Amino acid sequence: MSDLTIVQLTDTHLRAAGEHVHGVVDSHENLLRVLAQVRVARGPIHAIMLTGDLADNGAPEAYRRLRAAVEPIAAELGARVVYLMGNHDERVAFGETLLDLAPGSVDPLAPHDSVTEVAGMRLIGLDSTTPGRHDGWLEDEQLHWLAAQLRNPAALGTVLAVHHPPLPSAIAAAETLKLRNAQALAEVIAGTDVRVILCGHNHLTGAGMLAGVPVWMGPASSYRLETMPPAGRYRAGTGFGFSRLDIVDSALVMMAVETTAAQSIHDSDEAAELARLAAIMRR
């Protein structure tokens, strides 16, 4: 059993009602399927972190649809919700519609960074966006703020969420759109209690390492990038999912959860399966 579970949803790319992403993907429908799966899973789920590109084009209606989908289920599960910016988001609409900031008070040049404590785990969201750009960058002030936060360790450590992966990529477009000052982030987190960096942005499932800290790139809940396309091609297709982070026996484990419809191979009672395995191992 997990001592703590966090669900990471990323790249929901919601649009206004009736609009599809790239004219094809009903990202709202995909989100509802993801949330339905989260809802019936064995709890408790302590937090739901949404790691950027929450709206496809920054429309306030998209943020309203997101809240209407996520927050009732989070409330039912008793899960905290953390919203983080991605390059498709728009800071004013994001701040006013998702973060309940007063209309007219949001400075589009000021990042939406956040820190949330959940059951001994510190969740930090760093806004790696720059208005008008699609690659990632963290300002010096943000890195200083992060360093100050990390000065005192949390009981279960820190989960750091950054939309843009601080990793190079073998996929040319992902390489172009990565976090450009990853080394500066590496210097801040080295030797701290940061246990994992959760990213989105690339619409793929993968992992790497920064300053000895695992970096997890979670699958998008809208559509996915092809990670080994034919030479010279840049391709994406349907298919979506989300991620779960569990603390089990004090170890932190990440898993991707596939949500695309697939044929079932077996679907048995868990207790009966465990009893069968115990009988085999007793032999």
Enumerate binding residues for Fe ion (CB under 5 A).
11, 53, 86-87, 201
Looking only at the bridges linking them, the beta strands covering 4-9 and 241-248 are antiparallel
Nearest to Fe ion of 53, 113 (CB atom): 53
Q: Closer to Fe ion at the Cβ: 5 or 128? A: 128
d(CA 279, CA 269): 16
Instruction: Please list the residues that pair with 160 across neighbouring strands.
Output: 124, 197
Nearer to Fe ion, 24 or 277 (CB): 24
Extract the tokens encoding 256.
């991707």
Nearer to Fe ion, 13 or 244 (CB): 13
Query: Is the CB of 252 or the CB of 257 nearer to Fe ion?
Result: 257
Q: At its nearest, how many Å lie between Fe ion and the CB of residue 204?
A: 11
- The 3-class SS string of 7-40 reads EEECCCCECCCCCCECCCECHHHHHHHHHHHHHH
The distance of closest approach from Cβ of residue 69 to Fe ion in the complex, given in angstroms and rounded to an integer, is: 17
CA distance 6 to 193: 17
**Residue 167 and residue 178 in contact, taking contact as beta carbons nearer than 8 Å:** yes
Minimum separation from the CB atom of position 230 to Fe ion (A) = 23
Q: What is the 3-state secondary structure (H, E, C) of 114-160?
A: EEEEECCEEEEEECCCCCCCCCECCCHHHHHHHHHHHCCCCCCCEEE
In the bound complex, what is the minimum distance in angstroms from residue 11's beta carbon to Fe ion?
A: 4
Which residue, judged by CB position, is nearest to Fe ion in the bound state? 53
- Minimum CB distance to Fe ion smaller for 89 or for 113: 89
Residue 167 CB, nearest distance to Fe ion (Å)? 14
Cβ-based neighbours of 171, under 8 Å, separated by 6 or more: 202, 204, 225, 227, 234
- Pick 53 or 127: Cβ nearer Fe ion: 53
In whole angstroms, the minimum distance from the beta carbon of 164 to Fe ion comes to: 7
Smallest separation (angstroms) from Fe ion to the CB of 89: 9
Task: Give the nearest distance from C-beta 222 to Fe ion in angstroms.
Answer: 7
In 3D space, the residue among 192, 62, 67, 52 whose CA is nearest the CA of residue 126 turns out to be 52
Query: 204-227 in b/e burial notation, b at 16+ Cβ within 10 A?
Result: bbbbbebbebebbbbbbbbbbbee
Between 87 and 149, CB nearer to Fe ion: 87
Which tokens hold the place of 22? 């790239």
- The rounded distance, in Å, linking the Cα atoms of 26 and 20 is 5
